[in-house]
Amino acid sequence: MTTLRRTLDDAARRAIAARTEALFRSSGALREGHFALKSGLHSEAYLEKFQVLQDPAATSELCGFWAQGVRDRDGAPIVDLVAGPTTGGVLLAFETGRQLGTRAIFAEEVAGEPGEAPRREFRRGFTIAAGEKVLLVDDILTTGGSLLAMIPAVEAMGGEIIECAVIVDRSGGIATLTSPSTGRVYPLRSLWTLDLPTYEPWAATCPRCAAGEPAIKPGSSGTALVPK
């Protein structure tokens, strides 16, 4: 007999969003400036998730919110494994898998053919058996590029994606995850939804480019880019 999945009411979802926001603000993860995002778009705000993820207790708490959403009414996980993209998704997948008692794996970025976008591959002996139920997790969603690149890798192995989960959806809730291979739309759940505008990186569209302010490429490089 199949048991039904646990569901959260609106009050619980609002409480989770408020707690997620509190963790980001208290850690200094929400920053203002002129940023060139990984998607290629520019923004006047940036979420430095590793300011939160460096805290094991905070990371465990956030992953716990995901874990409770993929359990049935008896408390058993409804997924067989958790997968995430490098880099932040590695920490998140393994902690979520630990809490669920499932396997956890990650997909690495691989350069595509000339003119093609990078893709994701499961390496290091990671496998997904046909029919295994998968929870995909990631940190910050702007356009969903990292998760979209993972979906074909899961589908190719025969995995069944139950849900895609992110800590923060900065698209304001308008982003969707449609498989580039099959056209299937997968459910997306975020702990905290923000509407942070993004701009094409030109003076005609980006206010800070128009002001001549160099864009910072955040993350590991911290490179300053000259506005176009």
With contact defined as beta carbons under 8 Å apart, do 100 and 66 qualify? no
CA 101 to chain centroid, in Å, comes to 21
CA 178 to chain centroid, in Å, comes to 15
Backbone angles phi, psi at 35, to 5 degrees: -120, 140
With contact defined as beta carbons under 8 Å apart, do 197 and 43 qualify? yes
Q: From first to last of its 228 residues, what are the pLDDT tens digits of the chain?
A: 345 777 778 899 999 999 999 999 999 999 999 999 988 899 999 999 999 999 999 999 999 999 999 999 999 999 999 999 999 999 999 999 999 999 999 999 998 778 777 789 999 999 999 999 999 999 999 888 899 999 999 999 999 999 999 999 998 889 899 998 899 999 999 999 998 889 999 988 999 999 999 999 987 555 555 444
Q: Which fold has domain 10-225?
A: Rossmann fold (3.40.50)
Q: What is the pLDDT of residue 194?
A: 92
Tokens 């408020």 belong to 18
Q: Which residues of 127-163 are buried (b: 16+ CB within 10 A; e: fewer)?
A: ebeeebbbbbbbbbbbbbbbbbbbbbbbbeeebebbb
Domain ranges in the chain? 10-225
pLDDT in tens, 6-39: 777 889 999 999 999 999 999 999 999 999 998 8
pTM for the structure as a whole: 0.85
Tokens of 153: 């890798």
